[in-house]
Amino acid sequence: MKKYIFYICSIATFLLTSTVVLAQFPYQSTLTKGDEFYQFSSSVTFDSNGATLTPANNNITRGFYLNDLAFTVDRGFIIGFDYLMTGGGAGTNFADGLALVLFDGSETAPRMGSDGSGLGYAYKTPVSSEQGLTKGFLAVGVDLWGNFKVRRADGVKEYRNGIRNGTNNSTLLDDGGKTADANNHITIRGQGSGGEGYPVLITQSTTNFNSRTMLNFSNGLYDIKPVDPQNTPFSFKLRENPNSDESDLTALVGDKSYRRVEISMLPGNKSGVVGFYMAVDVIHGTQKSRVINNYFLPKEARINYMEVSGSPESSNVLKPLDLKAPQTFKIGFVASTGGFNQRHIVRNLSLYIPFSPSVGGIYLTDLCKDTPTEIDVLEKSVGFDSNIYSGEGDLSALGKREFLDPYSFQFRMIVNNVYEDTAQPYIAVSQYGTYEYNPVTTKVVFTPNKGVTMPTSDQVYFTIRNKDKQLANGTNLGSEQFRSNTATLRLVFGKNCNEVLMVNGNSI
């Protein structure tokens, strides 16, 4: 297979305008406080559980965005966030879903897109009803109900472009004759304005590994089936909790209900066309699945898609759409409910530059409550000494542990719902014990406090940098702006291991 080699360029300085402050990388937020965010609607709540986009009520669409923080397209970005869909529903029906949205960074007063299956991004025709997200460029829909990808046809009340139902209209696998309606899909919609555009670019089922399709830019049809996104088939639901309760409200990594989405956009060149390689990974419980792999989106191009021309599902016309990535992006989150509902929560947002170290969380179980534990904290982490990417595979596969700078390690804690670096980078102290990192061995030793009642689990956080590496353009991959995302070190405790068993007055 031909590989398209490209260089990810990094700029040394940002251009500042009166309305846009460009992001300082890496960016982290627990999304438990709303101080930094503007709201598309005024009812998103921020608390210790994260940002609740919608409560478990019908017919609600809400969202928020980072107005004072934008980032350039030149060097790409990686975005990660936790989400939870819980509560609500009627029986086993829950709806609709949520989306990460990207829009023009010069826009200071954006408006959300349509409600229900529009997920707050796409339009709803007639145009007088609801237009799409202002200057929207991209939406990654975490679509539990499944209609975000659908060519909607609800009489004259609501219709929009998308994938038509039926086995002859796309490469999606048949689901009882209504392929497009299948639940549990990760769907990417593209650029649009007002009541046109926002076409479905690619969609992948998370419960049926072989069900996927993408837009053919030439004929506007969904007759292209992408290659397998990973070697091993996956099957998982976007929502784990089958009941109407919120028993999984505080789900952490390792819990069955835990979900995290990681989206990378890496600028590159394919067949002479400049654009982005996109990948979407979903962490579910303790497993990580690549749902969309290296989807190439041109930075500027004319494509074709089928736009609706009337309410009947057969009413479509082939139209051109001029794609053009804005100079800067802003990000936001939107979610919606319809005739069914659920609570949509997002939390633990991270935004960082490609070729920053890829750090994996460490989650250990059944540990001794009363004796020290040694931990290989960098076991799942790699660094980089180059910014060359082939346009294929997982970016982290290009990294090596030897490229990490062990002396740049930094512990972090959450203080008042905000990530804060510890005063001594190699030491973190919780109410249950002390974590101490050794840069020579790259191991952490956790020593529990004596005389305290140990919890079920305890956790701290950490970051690290690459070793210094000057590139030809003057960029140093070991600089602070290339510091990694924040990873979690979580310990789950079992029994006491230092107890002495006495038999007939003698210890054994």
The pLDDT assigned to 495 comes to 87
Q: What is the DSSP letter of 160?
A: E
Rounded Cα–Cα distance for residues 451 and 26 (Å):
39
Count of Cβ atoms closer than 10 Å to residue 221 Cβ = 18
- pLDDT tens for 57-71 read 999 999 999 987 777
Structure tokens at 254: 């390792």
Q: What is the DSSP letter of 468?
A: P
Q: How far is CA 185 from the centre of its chain?
A: 14
Average pLDDT of the segment spanning 375-402: 88
Q: Between 89 and 284, name the one with better pLDDT.
A: 284
Output the CA–CA distances (angstroms, integers) from residue 451 to 53, 79, 95, 432, 469, in the order listed.
42, 41, 48, 10, 47
Average pLDDT of the segment spanning 366-389: 93
Statement: residue 91 has pLDDT above 80: no
Rounded Cα–Cα distance for residues 271 and 278 (Å):
16
Structure tokens at 409: 């390690």
Q: In this prediction, what percent of the chain has a pLDDT beyond 90?
A: 70
Count of Cβ atoms closer than 10 Å to residue 332 Cβ = 25
The pLDDT assigned to 366 comes to 93
The pLDDT assigned to 127 comes to 61
Statement: residue 16 has pLDDT above 70: no
Q: What is the DSSP letter of 398?
A: G
Task: Give the model's confidence band at 125: pLDDT under 50 very low, under 70 low, under 90 confident, else very high.
Answer: confident
Q: Which of 190-199, 270-279, 341-350, 440-449 has the lowest mean pLDDT?
A: 270-279
Mean pLDDT of the chain: 89
Q: Residue 465: enclosing H or E segment and its boundaries? A: strand 457-466
Average pLDDT of the segment spanning 362-381: 95
Describe the strand order of the beta sheet including 433-438 as a list of residue ranges.
373-375, 443-448, 433-438, 427-430
Query: How close are the terminal C-alpha atoms of the chain, in Å?
Result: 64
The pLDDT assigned to 428 comes to 98
Give Cβ neighbours of residue 106 (< 8 Å, ≥ 6 apart).
17, 19, 20, 135, 326, 327, 328
Question: For 42-46, which contacts have Cβ atoms below 8 Å and span 24 or more sequence positions?
Answer: none
The residue among 248, 207, 214, 219 whose CA lies nearest residue 88 is 248
Tell me whether strands 61-65 and 287-298 are parallel, antiparallel or unpaired: unpaired
Burial of 501 (0-12, 13-18, 19+ CB in 10 A): exposed
Task: Give the model's confidence band at 6: pLDDT under 50 very low, under 70 low, under 90 confident, else very high.
Answer: very low
Statement: residue 499 has pLDDT above 70: no
Average pLDDT of the segment spanning 193-198: 92
Statement: residue 11 has pLDDT above 50: no
The pLDDT assigned to 23 comes to 53
Statement: residue 472 has pLDDT above 80: yes
Statement: residue 15 has pLDDT above 90: no
Average pLDDT of the segment spanning 330-347: 95
Sign of CA dihedral 401, 407, 408, 412: positive
Q: Between 501 and 312, name the one with better pLDDT.
A: 312
**Phi, psi for 149 (deg, rounded to 5):** -95, -5
The pLDDT assigned to 45 comes to 96
Task: Give the model's confidence band at 392: pLDDT under 50 very low, under 70 low, under 90 confident, else very high.
Answer: low
Identify residue 282 by its one-letter amino acid code: V
Q: State pTM to two decimals.
A: 0.89
CA dihedral 418, 423, 429, 430 (to 10 degrees): -20
Q: Is 130 helix (H, G, I), strand (E, B) or coil?
A: strand
The residue among 360, 330, 382 whose CA lies nearest residue 262 is 360
Task: Give the model's confidence band at 427: pLDDT under 50 very low, under 70 low, under 90 confident, else very high.
Answer: very high
- pLDDT tens for 31-67 read 999 988 999 977 899 999 999 999 999 999 999 999 8
Statement: residue 25 has pLDDT above 90: no
Q: What is the CA radius of gyration of the chain?
A: 24
Rounded Cα–Cα distance for residues 448 and 371 (Å):
7
Residue written as token pair 């079920």: 456
Task: Give the model's confidence band at 383: pLDDT under 50 very low, under 70 low, under 90 confident, else very high.
Answer: very high
**Phi, psi for 245 (deg, rounded to 5):** -85, 180
Beta carbons of 33 and 45 less than 8 angstroms apart: no
The pLDDT assigned to 502 comes to 40
Q: Residue 443: enclosing H or E segment and its boundaries? A: strand 443-448
Phi-psi region of 146 (alpha: psi -120 to 50; beta: other; left: phi over 0): left
Q: What is the DSSP letter of 24?
A: P
**Phi, psi for 173 (deg, rounded to 5):** -75, 150
The pLDDT assigned to 390 comes to 65
Phi-psi region of 129 (alpha: psi -120 to 50; beta: other; left: phi over 0): alpha
The pLDDT assigned to 158 comes to 81
Statement: residue 267 has pLDDT above 90: no
Beta carbons of 477 and 395 less than 8 angstroms apart: no
Structure tokens at 221: 């049809």
Q: What angle do CA 175, 179, 183 make, to 5 degrees?
A: 80
Sign of CA dihedral 127, 132, 133, 135: negative
Rounded Cα–Cα distance for residues 315 and 372 (Å):
68
Task: Give the model's confidence band at 128: pLDDT under 50 very low, under 70 low, under 90 confident, else very high.
Answer: low
The pLDDT assigned to 394 comes to 79
Average pLDDT of the segment spanning 85-106: 92
Statement: residue 5 has pLDDT above 50: no
Statement: residue 144 has pLDDT above 80: yes
